[in-house]
């Protein structure tokens, strides 16, 4: 399971069969802030203020970084995106690179004021740590979703479990939206 780019790479290596099936689509990006939103972040335009720092994704996650950049440029324009990315935090003690998994720690420890990543992840963090974080939706972010697909491996070590795959796809459409993923159409 993964996004289109990693699955394409695995296909090129001959690990996956040619066809993958999408099973989830997220709602784009959102912002993570400290509980109480002490610096008053209500959207992307608030990030243009001086002094705010946002987490930076590690260079090993260029696809995620490029997707974030494209979404921010699509919503704020190039100048707005440049202003947003000019204040990134590139590292913090104990980490050589930053991934989306580090965003809550960066905010909790004061290394960053606001975090940008997938809406469903921020929703999860705010449900899991309601006394520490809040989600700030980004208007228009749903125009920049990321889809996740299920790919079958070539020559599996065990017989295919088609009943597991059938069960998964019979439930995914109903379950994923309960956890802040977007609803998918039959065409998707």
* Domains parsed from the chain with CATH numbers: 29-143 (3.40.190.10)
* pLDDT per position as a tens digit, 32-44: 999 999 989 898 8
Query: What is the spatial distance between Cα 14 and Cα 22, in angstroms, rounded to a whole number?
Result: 19
* pLDDT per position as a tens digit, 138-181: 999 999 998 888 888 898 877 766 677 888 888 888 898 888 88
pTM: 0.81
């Amino acid at each position: 399971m993964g996004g289109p780019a990693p699955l394409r790479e695995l296909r090129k290596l001959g690990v996956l069969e040619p066809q993958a099936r999408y099973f989830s689509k997220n709602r784009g990006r959102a912002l993570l802030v400290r509980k109480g939103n002490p610096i008053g972040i209500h959207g992307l335009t608030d990030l243009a203020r001086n002094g705010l720092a946002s987490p930076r994704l590690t260079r090993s996650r260029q696809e995620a970084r490029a997707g974030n950049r494209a979404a921010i440029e699509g919503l704020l324009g190039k100048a707005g995106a440049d202003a947003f990315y000019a204040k990134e935090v590139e590292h913090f003690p104990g980490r050589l690179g930053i991934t989306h998994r580090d965003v809550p720690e960066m905010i909790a420890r004061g290394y960053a004021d606001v975090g940008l990543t997938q809406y469903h992840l921020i929703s999860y963090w705010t449900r899991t740590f309601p006394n520490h974080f809040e989600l700030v939706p980004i208007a228009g972010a749903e125009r920049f979703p990321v889809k996740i697909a299920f790919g079958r491996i070539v020559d599996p070590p065990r017989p295919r479990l088609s009943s597991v795959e059938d069960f998964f796809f019979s439930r995914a459409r109903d379950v994923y939206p309960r956890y802040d993923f977007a609803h998918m159409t039959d065409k998707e």
